[in-house]
Amino acid sequence: MNIEAEIENISYHPQMCDLLPVFRIEDFKSGDAFKRGQFLLEYSDQKSFAISHWKSPKRTRTYPYARVYDTLCMDNRITIIPFVKDEGCEGDRDFLQWDTVSLMSLLKVYVIPAYYKTAKKSSRNPNKITAQEFDYTYLLDRLKSFADFNQSDAVHWNMEEVQRQIVHVAEQAKRYYKVISQRTGVKLHSPNELDARIKTMEKDIMDFRAYSRIQAQSARERERVTLHEQERVSGEKSTLTIKNFIGGYYYWTVDEASIAGARLLLVEKKHSKKSRLPHLGDIKDAVLKMVLFTNLSRVTVNGKTHSPFPVIGLTSDLLQGYCHSAMDDAEIEKFLADNNLKDRARALVRKIFQESRVNHFFAYIASPTIQTQQILVV
């Protein structure tokens, strides 16, 4: 199923943001703050920034959406994303895509593209590098520019940051990866593709957008035919293309999509084999997608309009039966007791259901043997 939709604006009220640890400028300069995926930086007496950072520009690695989600409760939210991450000739190499920046704009998150300056040889694999660290001096300079930024709109900041800084960041990434390779003795990927991207961006930043879009579409097609351990789905995955008001396109896969009358079910699934609930990072990853799915407009399948019905389905091999966000408290508590969930897990379930009720999506927790349609019939 090929689904197309638009987003004009985002209205969402997060309920599950973790309390951010507080750091100061000296912690930022030393890199100590970056031991946490997200934190509150006391930049000055008058200004504080909620900062998240990505370990890789690829959005399916290391729960970057969960990190971004935890900053959504703050006004000045910044995310730092490496333009490229090269893990060595026997590791992965990922590049920042235009539509990742566009997505952050939609979420009103300010993006700082960055590069890694130092790294170590992996003790597990001599042909890989690890412990990569950003150039904190450069990032501090970008924070100063952000503090002086007159526009309040993330769209304007992100467009300017890409147009004015992205080539410099890419060139610095190339430079320091060469130094890292020489110092560690680890062979990295060929610089040819990085050179091609730099050449494309120097010519016209819109060419970078077009090139990134092709890469994103290819990645989505690979994702569509891939089943992950974190998912237990019934039926084939579907593709969802979302267009926003600034011309950004987001290429998603939907774990389960089906039409029930005028409703189009858009189901994001997360699964656990050894715990009664999926990993919290997986859950928040799913919730961030609900930020988009609950704000879709003009949703069509093969040219026919449908009303989207967003759903999060959390399953575990250790669960029996199901409960969902439309149940009353007594029914939910019975399910939690019957499945012997601990206090911490029970509190998380209540938060998930509160999130769904406030933001108008459906959430359920169930055995993987129970299909989404069976639950929605109730």
What digits encode the pLDDT tens for the residues 55-104? Answer: 999 887 789 999 999 999 998 999 999 999 999 999 999 999 888 888 89
Going by pLDDT thresholds of 50, 70 and 90, the confidence category of residue 217 is: low
Residue 223 or residue 62, greater confidence: 62
- The listed range with the strongest mean pLDDT (214-223, 249-258, 321-330) is 321-330
pTM of the model: 0.90
Per-residue pLDDT, 307 = 95
pLDDT beyond 50 at 300: yes
Residue 152 or residue 203, greater confidence: 203
**Secondary structure (3-state) at 36:** coil
Mean pLDDT over all residues of the chain? 90
Mean pLDDT on 176-181: 98
**Nearest-angstrom CA–CA distance, 220 and 77:** 27
Tokens of 376: 């929605």
Per-residue pLDDT, 231 = 47
Q: List, in order, residues 6 or more apart from 257 with CB less than 8 Å away.
A: 1, 3, 237, 238, 240, 264, 265, 266, 267
**Nearest-angstrom CA–CA distance, 212 and 202:** 15
Going by pLDDT thresholds of 50, 70 and 90, the confidence category of residue 211 is: low
Per-residue pLDDT, 121 = 97
Q: What is the DSSP letter of 84?
A: E
**Nearest-angstrom CA–CA distance, 164 and 161:** 5
Tokens of 109: 């998150």
pLDDT beyond 60 at 50: yes
| 378 exposure class (CB count in 10 Å sphere: 0-12, 13-18, 19+) | exposed
Residue written as token pair 């729960």: 63
pLDDT beyond 60 at 224: no
Contact 55, 84 (CB under 8 A): no
**3-state class percentages of the chain: helix first, strand second, coil last, to nearest 5:** 40, 25, 35
* pLDDT tens digits, 121-168: 999 999 999 999 999 999 999 999 999 987 678 989 998 999 899 999
pLDDT beyond 90 at 302: no
- Short-list 298, 293, 324, 325, CA closest to 309: 293
Report the greatest alpha carbon distance in the chain.
63
Beta bridge partners of 304: 301
